[in-house]
Amino acid sequence: MKKLIIAATFGIFVGLVALTPLSATASGPSIALDNANNDLSDKESLKKGFKTYINYCLGCHQLQYQRYNRTFTDLGIEEADGIANYMYTGDKVGGHILNSMPKKEAASWFGSAPPDLTLEARLRSPDWIYTYLRSFHIDESRPFGVNNTVFKDVGMPHVLQDLQGVSTIDEHGKLSPAMGGTLTAEEYDVVVRDLTNFLEYVGEPNKLERKALGYWVLAFLFFFFILSYFLKKEYWKDVH
């Protein structure tokens, strides 16, 4: 009976682990991060984020562990629509989301090859990505004329600059409001949040299912624990 109770307790612990965000084990940020407030159940947000990724990020950053057809299915995109409007690379709908940038040349252009982004949200956290994409500022000393308050001396251009515009930074490290973009600050935040939402999704496509399963596991084990307790009392009631 003691073994049954120990097993139930261990199962509850496992269920709690299943509900814990995997990014929580990553090292903490050195600066305060803004809350992305992602919603993985918002399919429209995920579709918009996917479109932004395809248009602005895929040229340099692959999703080598994510397949087009899996993405279409999860986001509710019809295959024909996906092929026509999202699938600009690859010749098979079952293929991974890759680009054709040569790594050797990319390393010489940017200082290092642009990283794959499939697991970036799990490595950095969604809040880090959301804050990073809103923290570029002018820095003429850098090769691409920009720097970033979240990732100092970043080796990439501000690819969303035409949407956000440009910011400057003062001696206290405070960013000025961006100027010259095609979007307002609020509209740009929505675009970045949708992109962050999509990158969190590709980091763990079954995250919502894992969380839902975790609650069912905890409920079952709690019920099992109660049965085990009363069964123990029944076994031991005549011992004394």
Which residues define the annotated binding site for heme c? Answer: 57, 60-61
Backbone angles phi, psi at 239, to 5 degrees: -65, -40
Binding site feature residues? 57, 60-61
Distance separating alpha carbons of residues 133 and 158, to the nearest angstrom: 8
- Provide CB contacts within 8 A for 83, sequence distance 6+: 93
Residue 147 DSSP class: E
CA distance between the termini of the chain: 17
Choose among 95, 22, 81, 24: nearest CA to 47: 81
- Provide CB contacts within 8 A for 72, sequence distance 6+: 78, 79, 82, 86, 93
CB 201 within 8 A of CB 209: no
Residue with token string 């969604």:
126
Provide the 3-class DSSP secondary structure of residue 112. Answer: coil
- DSSP per residue over 46-90, as a string? HHHHHHHIIIIITTT--EEEEEHHHHHHHHT--HHHHHHHT--S-
Choose among 141, 142, 146, 144: nearest CA to 178: 146
Choose among 178, 155, 43: nearest CA to 107: 155
